[in-house]
Structures are given as structure tokens and as C-alpha cells.
Amino acid sequence: MIKTLLKVISKEQFCFIYANDLSILEAEMPNLPVLLRFGSCRKEVDAYRAKVEIENQEAYGTHLRDVSISSQVLTEMAQSPFVPLSVKEAIESIRA
């Protein structure tokens, strides 16, 4: 779980979530808010709802541009006493 999150919050991915990462986050961190950017809108949903929301938007002809962790969520994670130090360090590193 932490391993996947650290991979997403790295200078390699810059908080963008790939399909295989989304599946892992959906299973292991279902309440993590993720940002879905479509051609015509943006939505922030919990990871467990992301696939359903993507399917719903694509059914209306709106294509998915990308999935990521928003800056606001990173800020909240950095300030939370419940987030592991390794994640906080990764957030600090990506923002440096």
C-alpha cells in the first residue's frame, strides 16, 4: 500500500496515477481522494469510486485525460499525524 503511494508521489510520476496503481489504491486505500480530469470537467472522488465515475463520464462521450492526487490532498496528508513519515518526506521532496 505505502509502496504504491510512494511510487505515485515521486518525481517519476508526479502524482499521476496509472491504471494498475489505481487498482491497488482502490483495494488498499479506498477512501483516498483522487482527481479525475476529463475533456470537459474535473471531479474528485474516493479511489473506490473512480472506475465507476470514469465509466459514467465515458458513457456520455467525455474522455478521461488523467487521474492524479490533487495538491490539496497532498497538503492534508502532509499535515496529518496519521500519515507515515516516508509519505510526508515524499510529499516534501516532490514539492522541492
The span from the first CA to the last CA of the chain, in angstroms, equals 24
Nearest of 28, 72, 70, 35 to residue 50 by alpha carbon? 35
pTM: 0.92
Q: Summarize pLDDT for 18-35 with one digit per residue, the tens.
A: 999 999 999 999 999 999
The three cell numbers of residue 6 are 510512494
Pairing mode of beta strands 64-68, 42-46 = unpaired
pLDDT tens-digit map of 6-18: 999 999 999 999 9
Per residue in 34-93, pLDDT (tens digit) is: 999 999 899 999 999 999 999 999 999 999 999 999 999 999 999 999 999 999 999 999
Closest CA to 34 of 42, 46, 26: 46
Share of the chain above pLDDT 90, in %: 94
- Determine the pLDDT at residue 2: 85
- Give me the pLDDT at residue 89, please: 96
Q: How far apart are CA 76 and CA 60, in angstroms?
A: 32
Residue extents of the structural domains in the chain: 2-95
